[in-house]
Amino acid sequence: MFDQNRDRQSSSTPLLWKILPVAVLLFGVMVAVVFYISEGGTPTTELTGILTEGDVEFERYRQNVEIINQSIQMGQNVAGNWIIMVSGIIENRGERELDVVQVKLTLFNHEEPIHEIIRTPIQPSPYTSSVPALGRKSFDFYVEEIPEDWLAVTAELTIHGFRFPEE
């Protein structure tokens, strides 16, 4: 009777030693993937060719690009620090695709602008697609460095620049 239990124990031990290296290898691969994704996966390159205010092409096409359903809210991150959470949808009513869109967040104390933040929520990457012609693309981002003199009264989000993909 005692010998039978001993046989079962010894037969399951080699199975553990077969599965353990595979489990360790899979865990290592998962950790490597997390590091790869957190680093962005590809080296960042400087964005060029962005049309901004003052460019003739920007002024002509600007009427076709709009931010709809925008939301600007204050919140706290996990560390308890205040952040600004910004989201919206870029609507492209024009005939050309946009692969880069920059937005400008202006912080106001009553009616006086005190700080401007420019972000590029839509840009070429393996994880972000462009805004198609006659299409929409949602975006969101956080602002963690809030000016101390801002009274958290008003903020405004506008289109700052965009770029057409190279043909």
pLDDT tens readout for residues 57-90 = 999 999 999 999 999 999 998 888 899 999 999 9
34 and 60 assigned to the same domain: no
Pick 126 or 94 by higher pLDDT: 94
Going by C-alpha positions, the residue among 50, 68, 71, 85 that lies closest to residue 137 is 68
Instruction: With respect to residue 157, please indicate whether it lies within any of the assigned structural domains.
Output: yes
Average pLDDT over all residues of the chain: 86
The per-residue pLDDT for 45 is 67
86 and 132 assigned to the same domain: yes
pLDDT in tens, 128-162: 889 999 999 999 999 999 998 998 889 999 999 99
Bridge partners of 73, per DSSP, are 85
The per-residue pLDDT for 4 is 57
Say whether pLDDT at 11 is over 60: no
The per-residue pLDDT for 8 is 55
In percent, the amount of the chain with pLDDT more than 70 equals: 86
Report the Cα 149 to chain-centroid distance in Å: 27
Going by C-alpha positions, the residue among 161, 163, 160 that lies closest to residue 104 is 160
Lowest average pLDDT, out of 24-38, 57-71, 108-122, goes to 24-38
107 and 150 assigned to the same domain: yes
What is the mean pLDDT of the segment spanning 86-108?
Answer: 95
Look up the domain containing 115 and give its range: 51-163
14 and 37 assigned to the same domain: yes
The per-residue pLDDT for 43 is 47
58 and 108 assigned to the same domain: yes
Report how many domains make up the chain: 2
Say whether pLDDT at 104 is over 60: yes
Instruction: With respect to residue 46, please indicate whether it lies within any of the assigned structural domains.
Output: no
Going by C-alpha positions, the residue among 96, 90, 102, 104 that lies closest to residue 166 is 96
